[in-house]
């Protein structure tokens, strides 16, 4: 709906919509002898900046009114202010209510003049936001310590600082949700596939999330499926990582209010890389990757393998270990399989509690939980040491690859249930199901389990092991480069 030419009409409408909000600020003013009003949200826009940059400047430059001369109308004042180069005005006028609300909620101040159906928005934002800090979820030894903050514009500026070419494109849109949250689609022209970019933009435009608090809320629209075990997207809170992914031709989605940037499409093997992977010697980096792969598969399969071997295939275990497990199971009320399920679920509860509880209580509760699980349960004969050890190792191992935590937890339970109920056949079926679930995933035509880089070679240059960065730089990688015709 268009704005009215009459200031009073606009004022009345605004007061009706926002008058009851404590932070809504509306002030009648006179600029160049024309009546107008300033609207802003207190705490988001800086009144001091507005006064200094606009009101004071305009007041001092108001020409004297000669006798008989009529006061300039709203349109005339609008033109004066619009063409005044010293004022921090937005490039597009405010012409309708939607645009007005968008600017106000972005922290701008909007000036409406009597006799003019357009308003001017001024960039006098003074938003309070969390500073650029090191993200807690992505640790690294070398490399940048900066992390995204919650404000979209600041995050975009962090990216712009790193990619100092005209190739970087960052398109900002408003999500079609109740909160009208802004989001940005970032990509590098010439590297990202134009078709993929258009497809992503169109999908996001059509998405109707009820709320948009994080980029991950878009995933059900980007990759619709009934059951999702693994998503071919990655997340990062580090601008350096995001910039690196953009240079590989990937698409980045940032949402206002969340420091987490979504990267798509992502490959499975990229979950085992980190920011300082390429800052370390190739040999050591390869060793760490092998360790990570081992830890990930250990986390998924260890409890299931343990139950399967102990119960159904004891010949694959050293006899010394086997009889200790048997002795333990005889002393506890639950069978091995059920005990393992209980311990794993208990560890998940402890982990979740540790994540959500106030930090002041965190240490105490962790200590109590460890004592209860580790000592008291064994002493009372409710649980056995081999089971607790295996479950603890599996639960810890997954944190080597935190980005795959959700998938690993679900897979672990699935494999354990299958191994416990259906024995070796169930274990193999579950393992095959995990494999098929991962290989089934693809995003924008890029299979999730594709090797890196393309085309497929006998041993990938940058896969489980990697070659020196100089060798890798000789053939820069983009996610869209042609690969050998493989499914």
Partner 1 sequence: MRKLNFSGAAVSLSVLTTVMGQCILSGEAVSARTLLLQGLPMALALAVISRLLALAEVEQGTFSGNTFCSKLFCLLATLWFGAELVETLGQIQTLCWEQFSSMALVGILPLLLWAGWTLEPGVFSRSAGILWWAVVLAAAICFFSLSGQLHWENLFPEPEMTGPMQLPIYAEFFALPLFFETDGQKSQRHWVLPFAAFLVQALFAFGREAVFGPAHGLQGLELLRAGSIGGIARFDAAFLLVWLAAALFRCGMLVCTLRVLLCRAFGCGEQEVPE
Partner 2 sequence: MKHASRTARWMAGCLLALWCVAFLRAETTEKSMVRALFLRQGGQGWTVSLLYQFPEAAADASDAEAEIRACTAEGETLERAIQTAEQALPKTANYRLCEYLLFDEAASQTELLEVQEFLQTNPVSRLSARAFLVEQTAPLQQQAEPLLQCAEDHAAGAPHLYEAAGEMILPVVGLEEETAALSKESRLLTAQGSAPLSSEETAMAQLLQEKLPVSFELEESTITLRRCVVSVEAEGTGFAVALTGQRKAGTPPVSEVQCRQLEALCTQTLARCWENGLDLLHLGAVRALKQGSGEKLTTKNAYPAVRVSVEMLEF
CA pair distance 38, 320, nearest whole angstrom:
82
Counting residues that bind partner 1 (by CB under 8 A) gives 31
DSSP single-letter state for residue 54: I
Check if the beta carbon of residue 115 is closer than 8 Å to that of residue 249.
Answer: no
Interaction of residue 326 with partner 2, rule CB under 8 A:
yes
Residue 46, both tokens: 């800086």
Smallest distance from partner 1 to CB 89, Å:
46
Who contacts 180 (Cβ-Cβ below 8 Å, separation ≥6)? 101, 102, 105, 174
Smallest distance from partner 1 to CB 422, Å:
4
The length of the chain, given as a count of residues? 487
Residue 276, both tokens: 């300082």
Stretch that binds partner 1, among 76-84, 150-158, 180-188, 444-452 (CB under 8 A): 444-452
CA pair distance 386, 380, nearest whole angstrom:
15
Which partner, partner 1, partner 2, none, binds residue 481 by CB below 5 to 8 Å per kind? none
- CA-based max dimension of the chain: 110
Residue 109, both tokens: 């101040």
Distance of CA 86 to the CA centre of its chain: 38
Check if the beta carbon of residue 255 is closer than 8 Å to that of residue 152.
Answer: yes
Interaction of residue 345 with partner 2, rule CB under 8 A:
no
Segment 375-434, which members bind partner 2 (CB under 8 A)? 378-379, 381-386, 420-423, 426
Among 172, 213, 449, 472, binds partner 1 (CB under 8 A): 449
Which partner, partner 2, partner 1, none, binds residue 411 by CB below 5 to 8 Å per kind? none
Residue 318 or 487: which CB sits closer to partner 2? 318
Stretch that binds partner 2, among 157-165, 246-254, 280-288, 315-323 (CB under 8 A): 315-323
Which partner, partner 1, partner 2, none, binds residue 420 by CB below 5 to 8 Å per kind? partner 2
Among 224, 318, 333, 358, binds partner 1 (CB under 8 A): 318
Stretch that binds partner 1, among 13-21, 190-198, 311-319, 358-366 (CB under 8 A): 311-319
Stretch that binds partner 1, among 28-36, 172-180, 419-427, 471-479 (CB under 8 A): 419-427
393-427 burial, b at 16+ Cβ within 10 Å, e below that, comes to: ebbebbebbebbeebbbbbbbbbbbbbbeeeeebb
Q: Which residues of this protein are in contact with partner 2, per CB under 8 A?
A: 310-315, 319, 322-332, 335-337, 378-379, 381-386, 420-423, 426
């Amino acid at each position: 709906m268009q704005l009215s030419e009459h200031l009073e009409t606009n004022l009345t409408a605004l007061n009706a919509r926002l008058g009851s909000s404590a932070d809504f600020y509306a002030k009648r003013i006179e600029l160049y002898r024309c009546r107008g009003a300033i609207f802003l949200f207190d705490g988001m826009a800086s009144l001091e900046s507005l006064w200094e940059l606009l009101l004071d400047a305009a007041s001092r430059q108001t020409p004297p009114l000669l006798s008989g001369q009529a006061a300039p109308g709203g349109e005339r004042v609008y033109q004066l202010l619009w063409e005044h180069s010293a004022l921090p005005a937005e490039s597009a006028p405010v012409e309708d209510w939607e645009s007005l609300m968008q600017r106000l909620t972005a922290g701008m101040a909007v000036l409406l003049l009597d006799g003019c159906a357009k308003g001017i928005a001024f960039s006098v934002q003074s938003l309070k936001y969390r500073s650029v800090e090191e993200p807690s979820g992505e640790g690294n030894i070398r490399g940048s310590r900066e992390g995204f903050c919650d404000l979209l514009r600041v995050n975009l500026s962090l990216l712009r600082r790193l990619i100092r070419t005209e190739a970087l494109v960052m398109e900002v849109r408003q999500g079609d949700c109740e909160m009208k949250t802004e989001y940005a689609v970032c990509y590098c022209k010439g590297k990202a596939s134009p078709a993929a970019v258009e497809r992503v933009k169109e999908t996001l435009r059509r998405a109707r999330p009820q709320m948009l608090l994080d980029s991950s809320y878009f995933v059900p629209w980007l990759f619709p499926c009934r059951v999702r075990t693994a998503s071919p997207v990655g997340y990062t809170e580090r601008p350096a990582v995001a910039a690196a992914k953009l240079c590989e031709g990937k698409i980045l989605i940032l949402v206002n209010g969340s420091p987490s940037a979504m990267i798509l499409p992502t490959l499975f093997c990229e979950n085992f890389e980190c920011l300082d992977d390429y800052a370390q010697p190739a040999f050591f980096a390869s060793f760490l990757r092998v360790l990570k792969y081992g830890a990930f598969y250990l986390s998924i399969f260890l409890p299931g393998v343990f139950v399967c071997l102990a119960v159904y295939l004891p010949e694959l275990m050293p006899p010394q270990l086997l009889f200790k497990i048997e002795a333990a199971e005889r002393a506890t009320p639950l069978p091995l399989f059920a005990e393992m399920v209980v311990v794993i679920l208990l560890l998940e509860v402890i982990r979740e509690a540790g994540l959500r509880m106030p930090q002041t209580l965190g240490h105490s509760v962790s200590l109590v939980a460890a004592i209860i699980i580790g000592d008291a349960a064994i002493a009372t004969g409710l649980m056995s040491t081999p089971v607790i050890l295996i479950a603890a190792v599996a639960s810890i191992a997954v944190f080597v690859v935190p980005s795959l935590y959700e998938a690993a937890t679900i897979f672990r339970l699935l494999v354990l249930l299958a191994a416990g109920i259906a024995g070796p056949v169930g274990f193999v079926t579950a393992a095959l199901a995990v494999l098929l679930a991962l290989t089934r995933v693809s995003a924008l035509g890029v299979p999730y389990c594709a090797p890196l880089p393309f085309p497929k070679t006998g041993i990938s240059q940058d896969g489980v092991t990697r070659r020196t960065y100089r060798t890798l730089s000789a053939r820069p990688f983009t996610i869209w480069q042609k690969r050998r015709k493989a499914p």
